[in-house]
Amino acid sequence: MQAKETGDGFIILKLDDGEDLMECLRKAIKDFGIGSAFVTMGIGMLKHAEIGYFSGKGYEKKLLEEPHEMISLQGSISTMGETVIHLHAGLANRNHQIFGGHLFSAKACVLNEILIKKVDVRLGRKPNPETGLKELFLD
């Protein structure tokens, strides 16, 4: 992975084939001292991508083993208490059909280009007892 920060709080990541997306994001969080941020863009390809649909009680997951074109990547990063990376992705298969949802894990395929924006509003996570999810809150 290559990573650089702009003068106005954007962090650019370029991942290489086979790198773990979540590990790379955690490395960037550490290296650039990210407290709170949003993932505003991500393109390239992903493989071994585990996506999920939240049924209200839990996630119904699907593993997309084959490489997919990453059409979009959007999400949030919060580090208060524990680090949570909340990502949603749209992924196109060989027939150009798109699947997607909550993105649990994936490996970069060929390459990834990702843009993150640091924000000075503190983001945290608070458990919602009804859903079991750790919901975003703005501190």
The answer to whether 104 contacts a second copy (rule: CB under 8 A) is no
**Does 96 interact with a second copy (rule: CB under 8 A)?**
yes
Tokens representing residue 138 in the block: 């703005």
Query: Does 3 contact a second copy by CB under 8 A?
Result: yes
Q: Does 47 bind a second copy (CB under 8 A)?
A: no
**What size, in residues, is the chain?**
139
- Measured between alpha carbons, how far apart are the two ends of the chain, in Å? 31
- Regarding 41 and contact with a second copy (CB under 8 A), the answer is yes
3-state secondary structure at position 35: coil
Residue 82 makes contact with a second copy by CB under 8 A: no
Rounded to the nearest 5 degrees, what angle is found at the Cα of 12, between the Cα atoms of 48 and 47? 10
List interacting residues with a second copy (CB under 8 A): 2-10, 12, 14, 38-43, 45, 51-56, 60, 62, 67, 69-76, 86-90, 92-102, 110-111, 113, 115, 117, 119-121, 123, 128, 131, 133, 135-138
